[in-house]
Structures are given as structure tokens and as C-alpha cells.
Amino acid sequence: MSLRRAGLALLRQQGAPLVESLSATTQQAQGAVREAVEGCSRGVSTLAVKQRMKSVGNIQKITKAMKMVAASKMRSATAATENSRGIVQPFLRMLGDMPDTQGAKAVFVPVTSDKGLCGGINSTVCKYTRATVKAVRDGAAAADSGEAAPEMMLVVMGEKGRAQLQRDMRDNIYGTVADTNKVKITFPEASAIAEELLKTEYDTARILYNRFVSAINQKPTIATVLSPDALERAAAEGGAMDSYELEGPDRPEMLMDLAEFQLAATLYNSMMENNCSEQSSRMSAMENSTKNAGEMLGKLTLTYNRTRQASITTELIEIISGATALAG
């Protein structure tokens, strides 16, 4: 704007008779400058940047809202998750954790989420599933070369896990479960799913999930649940259970009840932990997204202002050089 004033001052110096015709010209030029500033006919380059800024701004608002929703869901899920740990700890203390148990039928239960935009937790679980299946297969091959290879079955929980695992482990999938946290994760729901798992008549069941350590830390975990027969064998080999006297004619009965309950309790805990991990992972993913969108918006604003100022300067130079050409 100061350039325009300087140009007009120059015109006044040069002489009055040209002023009237020149003022008309400057009026026209002023109109043109206004047009450029509003970005209509001459502001094509600024328009593109402005549209991009608008869309990035929208993305920033949406991801910020998603982060807050995930944070509030995580807060309410944390208490219930920590309470659900109390149902699994006694089993770990009494029966111990024996992830290297062999058997004829091995079932793997990767627990994943149904919705996306939750960071890398689902990919981690699927990666661990593939590695664990391979490890159990190799372990069986190394241990007894006399027995047949164990049958590997996958019961995938969550749509995201299904999509990833059906690419290369399609033939191992026994079943899929979805919409588990659509209404509420409850123990009866975990029991219903556990009953379906019991129908596979597994020897070992390995549940892979993300354990909720803190809002920024989710640890991939494998929980191993054995069938009553596998438990007996482990006890005979001197597992933790051997320290307890379990006499009586109803010992096999009791072991069966115990194994069934252990499966449901472990599954319930893993579903709760994975749900909480999903919310916290989504929260940090959306936080990063908001931050990146903000940075992008800052860079675009600088570009926009630079382009805008450059077009105004160009207009003014044209006006002033036109005016000086007419004057001189």
C-alpha cells in the first residue's frame, strides 16, 4: 500500500495536467489490486493454497475431537480393566505360565479391534501371531519327530485382525468373532466365546493381545491356557500345579471345570486389556495427527502469505511503472 502512495506522490510531483487521466488509471489499478487480494481472477495460485488450508484445518479439528473421545473412553475403561486382572492373577499363581507346552491341537486367538485409526497395535498382534505359530511348529518339530505336526487353528477376534491374517493364513482360520465391544464387554460374552473355543477341543490355547501398561505403553502379550489333559501332563512333569494336593475321585471333573473357567477368565481379561489399549493407541495416533496437521497448516499459511504478498507487489510494480511511463 505504501508503494502505491509513493507512486501517487511521484505523479503529483510530475505535473497536474496528467493527474486526471492518471487518477482514472489508478482507480482501475486499485480495483485490480482489490481483485487480486480477494483471490478471484488473478489469485488462482492463492485459491489452491487456501482450499488446502481449509481441508487441513478440518482434518485437524476432526482428529482433535477423535482424540478427546478416545481419551474419555480410555479413562472409563481403565478401572474395569484393572479390576478384571484380579480374576486372572490367581490362575497364574496357581497353575503357572507354560507357553512352550506341546499338544496335538494348538488354537491361537489374536485379539484385535474392529475399527481402525488406532495406531500399530493390530499389526503388532498379527505379526506376533505369525511368529508364534511358526515357533510352536518349529518347537514341535524339534521336540518329537515321531508325532505328527500339531494342527494349528486360528480364531481371529476383530475385523482388523481378520483382514490382515486372511491374506496368508486363510486355511488355518477356524472362525472369526467381531463386534465384541459394540455394546459392552461382559463376562457372559467372554464365556459364550470361550464355549465356542472349547468346541475346537484344543490342547493348548494361546491368546495374543495388547496389555494396557499405561496411556502411552501397550505391550503385546501371549496368554497360554491348557486343556485338562495338557494340565495333567504338565503337572506330572513338575509344573506349578504339582505343589497342590488334588486328591479325590472328582479330580478330573474339577480340572475340567478349572480349565474352562481359566479360559473364560483369561479371554475376558485379554478383551478388556486390548480394548483399553485400542483407546489409548487411538488417542496418541490422533494426537500425532493433530500435531502434524497443525504444522502443515503453519507451513501452508506461510506459503499463502508469501504468494499473496508477491501478487500484490507485482500489481503495484505494474501500476507504478505504467504511471511513470505515462508521466515520463
Partner 1 sequence: MLLVPADWRVAGMTYLKYSNLCADMVRAALKEPAKAKAKAREIIYFRQALWKDGQPQKQVITDTTGGSGGKLS
Binding site for partner 1 (CB under 8 A): 166, 170-171, 173-180, 182-184, 186-189, 191-196, 198, 248-250, 253, 256-257, 260-261, 264
Q: Which is nearer to partner 1, 102 or 176 (CB)?
A: 176
Q: How far is the CB of 59 from partner 1 (least distance, A)?
A: 30
Q: Which is nearer to partner 1, 197 or 285 (CB)?
A: 197
Nearest alpha carbon to residue 84 among 220, 218, 272: 272
Give me the residues paired with residue 217 across strands.
214
Q: How far is the CB of 190 from partner 1 (least distance, A)?
A: 9
Q: How far is the CB of 128 from partner 1 (least distance, A)?
A: 21
Q: Which is nearer to partner 1, 125 or 169 (CB)?
A: 169
Q: How far is the CB of 166 from partner 1 (least distance, A)?
A: 8
User: Is there a contact between 243 and 140 (Cβ–Cβ < 8 Å)?
Assistant: no
CA distance 178 to 207: 16
Tell whether the torsion through CA atoms of 222, 226, 231 and 234 is positive or negative: negative
Q: How far is the CB of 288 from partner 1 (least distance, A)?
A: 31
From the CB of residue 213, how many other CB atoms can be counted at a distance below 10 Å? Answer: 13
Q: How far is the CB of 30 from partner 1 (least distance, A)?
A: 60
Determine which helix (DSSP H) or strand (DSSP E) holds 207, and give its type and residue range. strand 204-214
Q: Cα-Cα-Cα-Cα dihedral of 311, 315, 318, 319, to 10°?
A: -170
Tell whether the torsion through CA atoms of 262, 265, 271 and 276 is positive or negative: negative
CA distance 234 to 236: 5
CA distance 23 to 327: 12
CB neighbours of 26 closer than 8 A, spacing ≥ 6? 4, 7, 8, 319, 323
Q: How far is the CB of 183 from partner 1 (least distance, A)?
A: 4
Q: Which is nearer to partner 1, 5 or 199 (CB)?
A: 199
195-to-128, 200, 251, 279 alpha-carbon distances in Å:
24, 9, 21, 27
Q: Which is nearer to partner 1, 137 or 261 (CB)?
A: 261
CA distance 316 to 265: 76
Per the rule left: phi > 0, alpha: psi between -120 and 50, beta: everything else, 317 is alpha
Q: Which is nearer to partner 1, 175 or 294 (CB)?
A: 175
Q: Which is nearer to partner 1, 55 or 72 (CB)?
A: 72
Q: How far is the CB of 259 from partner 1 (least distance, A)?
A: 9
Q: Which is nearer to partner 1, 142 or 183 (CB)?
A: 183
Q: Which is nearer to partner 1, 5 or 184 (CB)?
A: 184
Q: How far is the CB of 255 from partner 1 (least distance, A)?
A: 11
